[in-house]
Amino acid sequence: MFDIETLARFQFAMTTVFHFFFVPFSIGMSLVVAILEGCYVKTGDEKWKLQAKFWGKIMLLSFAVGVVTGIIQEFQFGMNWSDYSRFVGDIFGAPLAVEALLAFFMESTFLGLWMFTWDKMSKGVHWLFICLVTVGSMLSALWILIANAFMQHPAKEGVIYKMVDGHPQLKSFGALIANTQAWYEYAHVIAAAIIMGGMLLAGMSAWQLLRKNEVDFFKKSMRIGFIILTIGTLLSLGSGDLQMRALMNDDDQPMKFAAMEGDYEDVGQPLNNGEKFSDYENSKDNAQWTAIGFFNEKEHKKVWGIEIPYVLSVLSYHKPTGAVQGMNTVNKKLVEKYGEDNYYPMVTALFWNFRIMAAAGMLFLLVGVLGILGTGKKFTFMFEKKFWLYVTGLTLFVPFIANTAGWLITELGRQPWAVYGLIKTRDAISPNVSSASLLISNVVYFLLFATLGGIMIQLVRKVLHQGPSALFEKKEETSVDPFEKEAFSHE
């Protein structure tokens, strides 16, 4: 009923998406806590310390779940993708090893020190611990994305790798790190993490303000969240623009770009019959942008769409002229280069996921700017109007959707390749897995993730409902030493 490739891909997608719920969550919240504690160090105001300790509890929950889901994701390479691991392990293993031995141990070590040394170390040293946690989590993301970037853009043979006995071997570790795709991805992911941290702070605060819970505390949190959200959104828009424009080049992934825009045919007339990328960029024609579109993927054509002149040229080249390659043109080039095959990705999924991600970015910018304006001294409508509190509270869930859409674009747009131009997905699957084992493990993982997600939500809700005042509550201490005087007292 289900073929092995589909089940294996679904399992990896499910694992990656669920894990990536918590990667930007952890990075974003650690940055938020570092900012809050930094304010405490600078001002000495105990209110900032309370902010850092309270939101730190939610940060710790995200780290705990993120570690569990990350371990499960690592298992995928040995369970379902062993041929992939054998083929590219000489390269893929290096950044993963550095991530585990350096970045992960760095963040986990200093996270422990941060947790257990409140009021035992100087304010500056304790703040340094959470800063190092933030740096470690960002470095962890960097090494993972360096590995992923090789899958997206391995570059030409002889730069990063050399072929030995039909397998790529690492030639230059420096070139692997310098892969431009890695840094485009990294900038966009870190920006997404900043958005996540800001939106979590603002959104969770909004729900507590609706409940009239610790109003002064959550008002301060909400305003800080809006500021962080706005900064992250601006960074995301800039890094996303750079990443998308890089995809257009013939030596990158022009098929992914064309699919995201839903263009089967060339948009505009290129110079010299489009022999190279510059012929499209220097075209005097303008390229219209498809705002809404529907597609017949079997026949490789657009069925219907709403098109806006000039917009795609402006988005692609930052000028009103310039043509764009269509998927049919790119497919012909790929057939000539790699042999006969279907190189078209899932166009409908890419097209709509890109628009979901872009629309989310616009929403974040709107909410962030309105939030800053509406939580100041002159205007306070974001605090006082239930409508805006609900808007902020509901927008809390949008970063999870936007991040998922972004990863679906990244991975689905690379198909049919596991490593672009080197090994196809169908050739990367473990030879000894069966449909039955994959179906069972998919069900088990889904139930496990649903359980972890449910526990995470309940624990976060509990922390929020208790509020920061719970940090002051002291439990009655009972003696555990049978030789203490009080142990013999009958009072």
245 and 163 both lie in a single domain: yes
The domain boundary residue, chosen from 272, 304, 338: 338
Report CA-CA distances (Å) from 17 to 10, 21, 254, 343, 466. 10, 6, 24, 24, 30
Evaluate if residue 102 carries a pLDDT over 90.
Answer: no
In terms of domains, do 133 and 270 share one?
Answer: no
Q: pLDDT digits over 259-296, tens only? A: 999 999 988 888 888 888 888 888 898 889 999 999 99
Coil, strand, or helix at residue 479? coil
- Which residue matches tokens 């790699």? 338
- Residues 124 and 163 both lie in one domain: yes
Question: Is the pLDDT assigned to residue 491 strictly greater than 70?
Answer: no
Q: Which residues contact 183 (CB under 8 A, 6 or more apart)?
A: none
| Residues in contact with 440: Cβ distance below 8 Å, sequence separation at least 6, in sequence order | none
Same domain flag for 27 and 133: yes
Number of domains in the chain: 2
In a domain, 491, yes or no: no
Average pLDDT, the chain: 89
Q: Tell me: the pLDDT tens digits for 405-431? A: 999 999 999 989 999 989 999 998 988
Angstrom distance (rounded) from CA 308 to CA 304? 13
The pLDDT of 460-467, averaged and rounded, is: 89
350 with 457, same domain: the answer is yes
pLDDT digit string (tens) for 9-32? 999 899 988 988 889 999 999 999
Confidence check: pLDDT of 256 > 50: yes
Q: Among the listed ranges 189-193, 228-232, 373-377, which one has the minimum average pLDDT value?
A: 373-377
Q: Do 307 and 440 lie in a common domain?
A: no
For the stretch 108-142, pLDDT in tens is 899 999 999 988 999 999 999 999 999 999 999 99
| Whether residue 435 sits in one domain with residue 326 | no
> Which two tokens mark 346?
């899932």
pLDDT of residue 478: 45
In a domain, 488, yes or no: no
State pLDDT tens for residues 204-219.
999 999 998 888 999 9
User: What proportion of the chain, given as a percentage, has pLDDT over 70?
Assistant: 96
Decide if 475 is inside a domain. no
Residue 31's domain spans which residues?
4-252+346-470
- Please list the residues that pair with 302 across neighbouring strands: 295
User: Residues 294-334: pLDDT tens digits?
Assistant: 999 899 999 998 999 999 999 989 999 989 999 999 999 99
End residue of a domain, out of 338, 363, 385: 338
Instruction: Please give the angle made by the CA atoms of 330, 333 and 337, to the nearest 5 degrees.
Output: 135
Structural domain contains residue 485: no
Let me know if residue 478 belongs to a domain.
Answer: no
- Residue 115 CA, chain-centre distance (Å), reads 26
For residue 436, count other CB atoms closer than 10 A to its CB. Answer: 10
Q: Are 332 and 264 in contact (CB under 8 A)?
A: no
Dihedral pair phi/psi, residue 354, rounded to 5°? -65, -40
Query: Is residue 123 assigned to a domain?
Result: yes
Residues 324, 352, single domain; the answer is: no
Same domain, 243 and 272: no
Domain membership flag for residue 366: yes
Please identify, among 287, 319, 338, the residue that sits at the C-terminal boundary of a domain: 338
State the pLDDT at residue 94: 87
Same domain, 236 and 148: yes
For residues 259 and 320, state if they share a domain. yes
* Cβ neighbours of residue 483 closer than 8 Å, sequence gap 6 or more: none
Q: Is residue 480 part of a domain?
A: no
Task: Show the tokens assigned to 318.
Answer: 């930052």
Residue 286 shares a structural domain with residue 408: no
Most confident stretch, 145-154, 220-229, 477-486: 220-229
